[in-house]
Structure 1
Amino acid sequence: MERSIAAAGQGEEWPPSQWWRGYNDPQLDALIEAALTDSPDLASAIARVRQARGALQASRSSVLPSLGAQGSGEFAKQSYNNGTPASALPQGWEDYGTLALSANWNLDIWGKNRALLAAATSATEAALAEVRQAELVLTSEIASSYFDLARLLEREKVLEEALKVRESSEELTAKRFEQGLENEVPLRQARAEVARARGLIVANREQIARRRHALAALLGAGPDRTHDLVPAPLERIAMTRVPADAGIALAGRRPDIVAARRIVEASQSGTEYARKSFLPDVSLGGLIGLTSLGISNLFNDGSDYGSAGAAVSLPIFQGGALSGRYRVARAGYDSMVASYNKTVIEALQEVADAIASRDSASRQREHALDVETEAEAAFGLASQRYGAGLTTYIEVLTSQTSELDARLSALDAQFATLASDVALKRALGGGYAEENDEKANSDD
């Protein structure tokens, strides 16, 4: 197998945002692009962003003045028996008209509504980060599944070769048994090896089918979507070199950590809102309009009226409701902080494990390739010795069996290296760049 590893570009952030393109496999690129468009999991996360943006828009209105308009027209007759002299009242049925504009503004002196807005902003940013986390999980699972399918398809070819070798060995052993050169034990062992080889092929085909189905599900499609999918051989898939500074320091770019941090900030702002709910609300209000007896007089001089003033609302006794809400908010904040700390600790462990696994997988791959090289050489020598009449064909078959086993081990090691590479990129956030406030406030 090819031992070369493609070097990462100098001066580029690692991993890049579209890290899967580094494997130089157009078919993998197409699968991931399709999944990013059609995945139900991703659609659900995006819907939560729209929901959060709607809540943000509603919260933003609380810090802005409100303006309203009213208008009415009616026919009415006054009662002459309500204590007002009939001579002072309109006679009979009359039409009335009213037009008015009203304005109100909560001054938010203590910043209560601004705290509510900050909570909604942080919640929206958390939802955006959760979308990126869903994308990262989806793309990494597709890449790993794609590489595993490539391994299984190549493994089937080797297993079929191994079955032919074991069948040939069984035939030779049977002839030697018939000629009295072997007892029954080697023959039984040879037959058992044939049965075992056939069982391995059946099991491998089941794994291929299950892997195809899993890939189709990740793409948001039915099982037939990947029925004819044939990935490139593992040895043709490039692997990016891991930069020397790729480590725990990069874990802060993970979208799940960013989302957890934003959730903490939202909870903190919510706690501030609950604390400031004990303070009075001060608002300004005003009304200006027209009203008249007789709609035709509505725009005549003297029909105007209006009012303006300030209002103060102070909660005095709420039966413990405000205290209870503050305690709930404070406990929720403490819970979110603990959850954030847990997320960070787990992320650091995941990064450390991924780095160790990537390093170990690379070393094991080198050893597996060495074993494969030596096994190929041994098989070649055995074939030469048989051609020169210096050994039996049984020795050739035995050597070929060892060579095939070494090829299987090399395939597994190659896949393990690719899988650990994907896992490391996922652990480091997949090149995620935190969304800014402008994106959080966007309606797109």
Structure 2
Amino acid sequence: MAPPSVLLLALAVTSVQSEPTSSDLPSAIVQPKVEDAMLTPVPPAPRWVKTWDEALALVRERSTDLRGAEAGVERASGRWRQALSSLLPNARAQAGVAHDLLNPDVPSGVNPGAAGDGRTATTPVGTLTATLTQSVVDLSAWRGLSSTRAAEKSAVASLQDVRRRLTLGLARTLVATVAAERAAEINRVNLRQALERAALTQRSFELGAGNQLDVVRVNQDVAVARGALVAGDEQLRQAREALGFALGFGQAMGVDPAFNLQGLVDQTRKECSALDGLDSRPDLVAAKAQVESARESKRQAAAGYLPTLGVSSTLYGLTTSPGLGHFATWNVAAVLSVPLWEGGGREGLVRERAGVETQAAAALESARRDVELEVAQARRGVDVAEALVKTASESRDLAERTDRLTRRAFEVGRGSSLELVQSASALRQAELTLVLREFESVQARLDAFLTEARCDW
């Protein structure tokens, strides 16, 4: 029997100019087994996320952005209550005990007739003063109440927008992590295939059916595959760290392999609802409420030029002998307050708040433009992503067929090492591109929904 090198050379002589097909090629040679330390997968993350509900629960529990937005609502509610207090009755009671050290037998600070007929003030003397005030006409206070009410509405809308952005950010991070996991897996498959090609080429060279250039080319392809694997592993680690950060942890977190990524859009629909129109998107609602709050705040400052009318009542009592005590006076007074001159402070306050209103209006217009552009891009992104998935799938299929035929042709001596390396590189790129496009399609559908949604969880 002829040696293997002679058989390979004999097969090469029978090659034809047309592309080899599976019908005119012998069955592929059994691929050699390869071992390499880099084929070992990245160690699993210390903690895994199994379901969307679990991830969302962690965000609710540990998100600092959510806590800050909730505190903003509480703060705005407190400011509204402060503004309301100036329009409601205010009552105050004050008690005291006074003693004259130089004249211990004389009641301190008490009018002689305050104790009443047949009574004298005690020494030391105890006093009680109760005061009740009520604003009757105060336009500035009413404007301040309207301003704080609008600010509270803005804070509530901002909280809803934070929830929407957290939902979108969490979904994006989950998709990116799953994509990085898949890409790292593909990189290892590609490295294994590159090592198998290198082993096959080295064996052909040893049998005399190849040359040193073939060996160098496939080894270069192995080096490229190793570089892609190292970069993909680092991207996976960063994706896990980003997921851990999004969930409120200082360590990397992974995604369970059984995580239902395709159903992620349906799961987000349970937590968020579609909007009736763009004007009802939470960030636009918050911006419009800020404009309203700034407008009412400016009117509050301008109303400070107007007079105010209030009612005040004071009850005064002291300790007497005999008896426990005596209420000496109880008066009711109407108080009219007319501002005359404040050194220009009121004018400066009006101008300042007018500038705040202008800034709020500009911020609203900018937010509206951003939302319109974001929504248009998100809607278009779904069609673009689906088209890219289709073309990437076709490209991968063609690259896979080309690589398979090239490998078989090389195994029987009809192809060159350059063709082998080029087809392998093209297949690697097509595989990664398809994975990327598939995850981009999921992300595009999430973006399209969440850019026009309100989340009330």
Query: What range describes the TM-score normalised by the shorter chain of this pair?
Result: 0.7 to 0.9
User: Structure 2: how far apart are the matches of 1:175 and 1:368?
Assistant: 34
The answer to whether 1:104 aligns with 2:127 is no
Q: Secondary structure at the match of 1:315?
A: coil
Q: Which residue of 2 aligns with 1:151?
A: 179
User: Structure 2: how far apart are the matches of 1:123 and 1:235?
Assistant: 39
Q: Alpha-carbon deviation of 1:369?
A: 2.6
| Counterpart pick for 1:267 among 294, 299, 322 | 294
User: Structure 2: how far apart are the matches of 1:56 and 1:176?
Assistant: 83
Q: Secondary structure at the match of 2:249?
A: coil
Q: Which residue of 2 aligns with 1:188?
A: 216
Q: Alpha-carbon deviation of 1:386?
A: 10
Alignment of 1:24-103 (within 5 A): 27-76=51-100, 77-78=105-106, 94-103=123-132
User: Structure 1: how far apart are the matches of 2:120 and 2:330?
Assistant: 27
Give RMSD over aligned pairs.
3.7
Q: Secondary structure at the match of 1:102?
A: strand
Q: In 1, are the aligned partners of 2:168 and 2:446 still within 8 Å (CA)?
A: yes
Q: Which residue of 1 aligns with 2:25?
A: none
Q: Secondary structure at the match of 1:296?
A: coil
Q: Which residue of 2 aligns with 1:365?
A: 389
Q: Alpha-carbon deviation of 1:376?
A: 5.2
Q: Alpha-carbon deviation of 1:262?
A: 1.2
Relative to structure 1, the CA distance from residue 295 to residue 173 in structure 2 (aligned partners, 3 Å threshold; closer, same or farther) is farther
Q: Which residue of 2 aligns with 1:4?
A: none
Q: Which residue of 2 aligns with 1:441?
A: none
Q: In 2, are the aligned partners of 1:98 and 1:289 still within 8 Å (CA)?
A: yes
The answer to whether 1:342 aligns with 2:370 is no
Q: Alpha-carbon deviation of 1:181?
A: 4.1
Q: Secondary structure at the match of 1:413?
A: helix
Alignment of 1:15-414 (within 5 A): 27-76=51-100, 77-78=105-106, 94-109=123-138, 111-224=139-252, 226=253, 228-232=254-258, 236-237=262-263, 239=265, 250-291=277-318, 293-294=320-321, 296-299=323-326, 303-375=327-399, 403-414=427-438
Amino acid at match of 1:253: S
Q: Alpha-carbon deviation of 1:333?
A: 0.7
Moved more, 65-74 or 190-199: 65-74
Relative to structure 1, the CA distance from residue 92 to residue 48 in structure 2 (aligned partners, 3 Å threshold; closer, same or farther) is closer
Relative to structure 1, the CA distance from residue 49 to residue 186 in structure 2 (aligned partners, 3 Å threshold; closer, same or farther) is same
User: Structure 1: how far apart are the matches of 2:275 and 2:107?
Assistant: 83
Amino acid at match of 2:355: A
Moved more, 144-153 or 350-359: 350-359
Superposed CA offset, 1:349-403 (max 9, x none): 111122222221121112223334455566677899999x897798899767655
User: Structure 2: how far apart are the matches of 1:393 and 1:72?
Assistant: 106
| Counterpart pick for 1:423 among 434, 438, 447 | 447
Q: Alpha-carbon deviation of 1:95?
A: 3.8
Q: Alpha-carbon deviation of 1:163?
A: 1.0
User: Structure 1: how far apart are the matches of 2:157 and 2:182?
Assistant: 38
Give me the TM-score of the superposition, normalised by structure 1. Answer: 0.77
Q: Which residue of 2 aligns with 1:21?
A: none
User: Structure 2: how far apart are the matches of 1:94 and 1:203?
Assistant: 90
User: Structure 1: how far apart are the matches of 2:322 and 2:82?
Assistant: 37
State which structure, 1 or 2, has the greater radius of gyration over its C-alpha atoms. Answer: 2
Q: In 2, are the aligned partners of 1:95 and 1:294 still within 8 Å (CA)?
A: no
Relative to structure 1, the CA distance from residue 254 to residue 421 in structure 2 (aligned partners, 3 Å threshold; closer, same or farther) is same
Superposed CA offset, 1:190-218 (max 9, x none): 11110010111111111111111111111
Give me the TM-score of the superposition, normalised by structure 2. Answer: 0.75
Amino acid at match of 2:307: P
Moved more, 95-104 or 146-155: 95-104
Q: In 2, are the aligned partners of 1:248 and 1:352 still within 8 Å (CA)?
A: no
Q: Secondary structure at the match of 2:454?
A: coil
Amino acid at match of 1:368: A
Q: Which residue of 1 aligns with 2:8?
A: none
> How many residues in Structure 1 have an aligned counterpart in Structure 2?
393
User: Structure 1: how far apart are the matches of 2:228 and 2:342?
Assistant: 72
User: Structure 2: how far apart are the matches of 1:99 and 1:79?
Assistant: 15
Q: Alpha-carbon deviation of 1:310?
A: 0.8
Moved more, 195-204 or 171-180: 171-180
Q: In 2, are the aligned partners of 1:177 and 1:183 still within 8 Å (CA)?
A: yes
Relative to structure 1, the CA distance from residue 231 to residue 345 in structure 2 (aligned partners, 3 Å threshold; closer, same or farther) is farther
Q: Alpha-carbon deviation of 1:317?
A: 1.3
User: Structure 2: how far apart are the matches of 1:148 and 1:198?
Assistant: 22
Superposed CA offset, 1:292-316 (max 9, x none): 54373515xxx44211111111111
User: Structure 2: how far apart are the matches of 1:386 and 1:181?
Assistant: 10
User: Structure 2: how far apart are the matches of 1:184 and 1:357?
Assistant: 48
Q: Which residue of 1 aligns with 2:32?
A: none
Q: Secondary structure at the match of 2:339?
A: coil
Q: Secondary structure at the match of 1:319?
A: coil
Q: In 1, are the aligned partners of 2:107 and 2:124 still within 8 Å (CA)?
A: no
Q: Secondary structure at the match of 2:331?
A: strand
Q: Alpha-carbon deviation of 1:259?
A: 1.3
Which residues of structure 1 form unaligned runs of 5+? Answer: 1-24, 85-89, 436-444
Which residues of structure 2 form unaligned runs of 5+? Answer: 1-48, 113-118
User: Structure 1: how far apart are the matches of 2:413 and 2:234?
Assistant: 42
User: Structure 1: how far apart are the matches of 2:293 and 2:201?
Assistant: 75
Q: Alpha-carbon deviation of 1:425?
A: 3.0
User: Structure 1: how far apart are the matches of 2:428 and 2:170?
Assistant: 29
User: Structure 1: how far apart are the matches of 2:260 and 2:324?
Assistant: 88
User: Structure 2: how far apart are the matches of 1:99 and 1:61?
Assistant: 24
Superposed CA offset, 1:225-246 (max 9, x none): x1x54344777545559x9xx9
User: Structure 1: how far apart are the matches of 2:242 and 2:322?
Assistant: 72
User: Structure 2: how far apart are the matches of 1:379 and 1:184?
Assistant: 22
Q: Secondary structure at the match of 1:223?
A: coil
Amino acid at match of 1:69: A
Q: Which residue of 2 aligns with 1:15?
A: none
Relative to structure 1, the CA distance from residue 79 to residue 144 in structure 2 (aligned partners, 3 Å threshold; closer, same or farther) is closer
